[in-house]
Amino acid sequence: MNKKITFLCITCFLLMLTSKDYACTTFLISGKYTADGKPILFKNRDSDQKQNSLAFFNDGRYKYIALVSGEEDWNKSVWGGYNEAGFAIINSNAYNNNIGDTSKFKNQEGLIMKLALQKCISLKDFEKLLDSLPKPMGLNANFGVIDAYGGAAFYETGNYDFKKYDVNDKAIAPNGFLVRTNHSMRGDLTKGYGFCRYNTAIDTLSVLLAEKKISPQFLFNSISRNLTHSLTKTDLWANIPKERNIPEFKFYIDYITRESTVAAIMIIGAKDYKHSKDAMMWTILGFPLASVAIPTWISGGSNLPKTVTMDEKFCSPICRAALKFKEECFPITYDKGGNYINLSVVINQQNNGYMQLLQPVEKEIFEKANLLIDELEKDKKTGKDIQSFYAWIDQYLSEAYKTQFNYNLFNN
């Protein structure tokens, strides 16, 4: 990054010590740069809505699966997802698209993403949707969008207009990927946020692409569970605590996953429109350092795994477990306690931190899911097999959480 961005990173880092924003780290990768030709769309969600679940919708032109908040009107907005046509969308707050605009109409991002999933099939459809909306649109966001026609772009969007950044344009994305945190590149960068996370993600993705390690498993571990800081050059893996039961607190501001991170989704798009049914989504609910990734497919039908499905208290079982474990990660609940993570319960030399205990559990899910994905794409498996896989996930995680943590996943 140039000197201006580095200076802004330092400035915004200092501001983060006295302010709290609900931000996100997002990226997209062109299918031209992945081994299987499939584009990837990613969002690490930061929010004050800690309860997160997945929902299957059939209330528009297309069926879709989306991330939702745990609240009574949960079905009115979505925070990322994809539809049966292979169209997918995510967002991050931008904060610098509407400088000087006095409009009080805002926070429409979740509604617009739901509308897009209901009716859009391509990037052009999404652009037409934005053009058709009454102005002001109530938007201040970076929307990441992919479709089944090779389209992949960010749309930096304000109340009255938007600017498209095409990841397939080498002049814009020479390495085949784009990152957006909480500033739009077209706006006044001194008014944006998230520069440290932006730099960390850029550095990490550059290495993964160069080493050809672009897979959902590598990406989650390298981005959502990244423990390095691009500004301070801190690496929390460098000197990990000796024992889990002896707390070691580390200053924990503006890492990619933060105290306010509540979910992460990764949508693996279709390589072309003939394979729209092969698009799918991986989701980590609750807190990425203390949870596991779970796959879902629209072609599997409306009955998603119980682990990720909202209950009568507007929370999914896997999210509830992660939030419970997270309490040990951030046990200081007064003053600026959220700025300090007890690293001992996350990683330690005894290898019994939450990340370490959950890694083999998640690895098993990835291995079985990858086998299923291969057979689905060869038309050797169907939606019924996906339902069987969902049942296995629920049973497997129930047993794993009971064994590892003495935690009853479905009765808490």
Domains identified in the chain and CATH numbers: 3-16+26-405 (3.60.60.10)
Asked if 381 and 368 count as a contact pair (C-beta separation under 8 A), the reply is: no
Amino acid 412: pLDDT: 82
Structure tokens at 284: 């980590």
Tokens of 380: 């050797």
Question: How far is residue 70 CA from its own chain's centroid?
Answer: 16
Structure tokens at 341: 């993570």
Phi then psi dihedrals of residue 373, to 5 deg? -60, -45
Backbone dihedral angles phi then psi of residue 275, each to the nearest 5 degrees: -115, 30
Query: How far apart, in whole angstroms, are the C-alpha atoms of residue 283 and residue 393?
Result: 13
| DSSP class per residue in 258-269 | -TTEEEEEEEE-
Six-digit token string for 243: 């024992």
Q: What are the E-state strand segments in 187-302?
A: 249-251, 261-268, 280-285, 293-296
Count other Cβ atoms within 10 Å, centred on residue 313.
9
The DSSP call for residue 33 is G
- Angle made by CA atoms 321, 322, 325, in degrees to the nearest 5: 90
Q: What pLDDT, on a 0 to 100 scale, did the predictor assign at position 43?
A: 98
In tens digits, what is the pLDDT along the chain, a chain of 412 residues? 444 454 445 444 444 443 445 689 999 999 999 999 999 999 999 999 999 999 999 999 999 999 999 999 999 999 999 999 999 999 999 999 999 999 999 999 999 999 999 999 999 999 999 999 999 999 999 999 999 999 999 999 999 999 999 999 999 999 999 999 999 999 999 999 999 999 999 999 999 999 998 999 999 999 999 999 999 999 999 999 999 999 999 999 999 999 999 999 999 999 999 999 999 999 999 999 999 999 999 999 999 999 999 999 999 999 999 999 999 999 999 999 999 999 999 999 999 999 999 999 999 999 999 999 999 999 999 999 999 999 999 999 999 999 999 999 999 8
The answer for residues whose C-beta is within 8 angstroms of residue 173's C-beta and 6 or more apart is 30, 165, 166, 167
Sort 395 into a burial class: Cβ within 10 Å, 0-12 / 13-18 / 19+: exposed
CA separation for the pair 24, 334 (Å, rounded): 24
What whole-number distance in Å separates Cα of residue 368 and Cα of residue 364?
A: 6
Q: What is the pLDDT of residue 14?
A: 43
Residue 41, CA distances (Å) to 105, 123, 171, 270, 283 in order: 28, 14, 20, 11, 12
Cα dist from 297 to 115, 268, 385, 389, whole Å? 20, 10, 11, 11
Q: Which has the closest alpha carbon to 216: 298, 308, 293?
A: 293
3-state helix, strand, coil in the chain (%, to 5): 35, 20, 45
